[in-house]
Amino acid sequence: MQKLHPLVKKVLFTKEEIESKTKEVTKEIEKYYSDKNMIDNSLLVLGLLKGCLPFFTNFCMNCDLTMEMEFMVVSSYKGTTMAETEPKILLDLQTDVRDRDILIVEDIIDTGATLKYVYDYLLDSGARSVKILTMLDKPSRRIADIQADWACFTIEPEFVIGYGLDYQEKIRNLPYVAICDTDKLKDWKW
């Protein structure tokens, strides 16, 4: 086992646990889409950068559906642990989503503000269907009216790091999801 990062208070899910759960959920998603009549028989998988990356890759590599990959960057956190109120699109879709079946892949749903914004944007742009897959769900913090169709793990309202989740844009590369030791953040130096 790799040395734990000093900001880790407690590891919640190891790489192996995340990968095994992702496989299970992927099977459900394959079953759900296998009889849908999609354009080019192809699902449009939309990753919300940057946090989705490790989970997105893990899901896509395990999934047998024909898929196209798209990405968006939507701002939410600005290097702190507080969400901004109004999300902003920083990188938009590179393809026409009209009549497409879209699966959004997220790292975590917290207040849901970011996701709700993207969800409405996709439907307004003419998507035929929009479903949501998330690695982590923090339902107790939800403000926006949105929920995941598939969630790998439900967690308590704590600030988590690793497997795509950052603190000040760093440590997304930790191969596990951990609760952050927030007491250390006050005078934390990289």
Binding site for ligand IMP (CB under 6 A): 51, 76-77, 83, 106-115, 159-160, 165-166
- Residue closer to ligand IMP, measured from CB, 25 or 135: 135
One-letter amino acid for residue 184 of the chain: K
Check if 110 is active-site. Answer: yes
Q: Say how far apart CA 94 and CA 22 lie, in whole Å.
A: 27
Q: Report in angstroms how near the CB of residue 115 gets to Mg ion at its nearest.
A: 8
Q: Say how far apart CA 3 and CA 115 lie, in whole Å.
A: 33
| Interface stretch with Mg ion, choices 8-16, 63-71, 81-89, 106-114 (CB under 5 A) | 106-114
Spot the catalytic one: 35, 64, 99, 110: 110
Q: Output the CA angle 86-145-11, nearest 5 degrees.
A: 80
Q: Which of 51, 54, 87, 112 binds Mg ion (CB under 5 A)?
A: 51
Interface with Mg ion (CB under 5 A), residue total 3
For residue 178, count CB atoms less than 10 angstroms from its CB and return exposed for 0-12, middle for 13-18, buried for 19 or more.
Answer: buried
Q: Decide if 146 contacts 132 (C-beta within 8 A).
A: yes
- Residue closer to ligand IMP, measured from CB, 25 or 132: 132
For residue 80, count CB atoms less than 10 angstroms from its CB and return exposed for 0-12, middle for 13-18, buried for 19 or more.
Answer: exposed
Q: Report in angstroms how near the CB of residue 187 gets to ligand IMP at its nearest.
A: 20
| Residue 81 Cα distances to 51, 55, 92, 131, 158, angstroms | 14, 21, 24, 27, 10
- Residue closer to ligand IMP, measured from CB, 34 or 81: 81
Closest CB to Mg ion belongs to which residue? 51
Q: Kindly state whether residue 110 participates in binding Mg ion, applying the rule CB under 5 A.
A: no
Give, for 15, the enclosing helix (H) or strand (E). Answer: helix 15-34
- Residue closer to Mg ion, measured from CB, 65 or 136: 136
- Residue numbers annotated as active site: 110
Binding residues vs Mg ion (CB under 5 A): 48, 51, 107
